[in-house]
Amino acid sequence: MTATRMPATFGVALRTWRQRRRLSQLDLAIRADVSARHVSFIETGRSAPSRAMVLRLADVLDVPPRERNHLLIAAGLAPVYPERRLDDPELAAVRDGVQRVLSAYEPYPCVAVDRCWNILGANAATAVLLDGVAPGLLEQPNALRLTLHPDGMAPRIKNLGQWRHHLIGRLRREVTASGSDELAALLSEAESYPGPSVESADPATVLVPLELCTADGELLTFISTVTTFGTALDPTAAELSIEAFLPADEVTAATLVCRSASQGSPQ
């Protein structure tokens, strides 16, 4: 995972995050219980923030752990959140937890992704989603690319315009919240893929379904749920999400159970 590029000075970085959260210097000062003058001095470089001040401002601005490290470094301070890969021994409990969740969702598809939508794990039932996907897309699988790329799932998604609008809107919000250059590049790539983008025809719609035709011509309808580690402090764990695709009707549920039974997968 490549670190998000941040401005060179803490003052510029702080102003960037403040503006991203649409707060004035006075708003930030009130929420952080400091003077607006002090916030101004920090942004202009006239005052150097302490570690406690950096973390307090980051907390108010809801800055993710990885980016908090970048803020600390920009302020000339050591980072406080360890940045490790998921295969690090220290994250064994996280890996085990992810695997348990993936297995528990069988016979329904479930994937674990990092903040850039790269797939880090998947259960056996996910194969139903990947029927017909070009092998090249599976070498370094990215959930967004697998879904919307014309060589991926896109040709088999019956409501592609609706699902595309849903995914790109979700990614746009993540770009705004995180300021990640990687996510911004992924958004630009996704928007370049051919395909319609339409909102739900019914504003009273409760959930956006995924309507997917299998290689055998069956129509499966899913609703998705996303799970995260709510108490994670490690950047890698905090950025993990687990997305499950649950059957939206009895036909889909029965089909998935039958497929699982025929393949000998656990239920």
**Residue 203: per-residue pLDDT:** 60
Q: From 3.30.450.20, 3.30.450.40, 3.40.50.300, 3.30.590.20, which CATH number describes the 89-263 domain?
A: 3.30.450.20
Domain boundaries, the chain: 10-74, 89-263
Could you give the CA distance from residue 13 to residue 181 in angstroms, rounded to a whole number? 14
**Residue 200: per-residue pLDDT:** 64
Q: Would you call 58 exposed, middle or buried from its count of C-beta atoms within 10 A (0-12, 13-18, 19+)?
A: buried
**Residue 204: per-residue pLDDT:** 58
Could you give the CA distance from residue 19 to residue 244 in angstroms, rounded to a whole number? 34
In the chain, what is the straight-line distance between the N-terminal and C-terminal CA atoms, in Å? 33
Closest C-alpha among 190, 139, 188, 136 to residue 160: 190
Could you give the CA distance from residue 233 to residue 82 in angstroms, rounded to a whole number? 9
Q: Would you call 135 exposed, middle or buried from its count of C-beta atoms within 10 A (0-12, 13-18, 19+)?
A: exposed
201-223 burial, b at 16+ Cβ within 10 Å, e below that, comes to: eeeeeeebbbbbbeeeeeebbbb
Could you give the CA distance from residue 57 to residue 71 in angstroms, rounded to a whole number? 10
According to CATH, the superfamily of the domain at 10-74 is lambda repressor-like DNA-binding domains (1.10.260.40)
How many residues belong to the chain? 267
Which residue do the tokens 């595309």 mark? 164
Specify the pTM: 0.82
Pair 121, 178: CB distance under 8 Å: no
Q: Which two tokens stand for residue 200?
A: 């739900």
Q: Would you call 248 exposed, middle or buried from its count of C-beta atoms within 10 A (0-12, 13-18, 19+)?
A: middle
| DSSP calls for 172-208 | HHHHHHH--HHHHHHHHHHHHS-------S-TT-SS-
User: Which residues of the chain carry a pLDDT beneath 50?
Assistant: 1-6, 265-267
**Residue 3: per-residue pLDDT:** 44
**Residue 267: per-residue pLDDT:** 46
Q: What is the dihedral of CA 142, 247, 123, 241, to 10 degrees?
A: 50
**Residue 2: per-residue pLDDT:** 42
DSSP H helical segments within the chain, as ranges?
A: 10-20, 25-32, 36-44, 51-60, 65-74, 92-104, 127-130, 135-139, 143-148, 160-178, 181-192, 235-239, 250-263
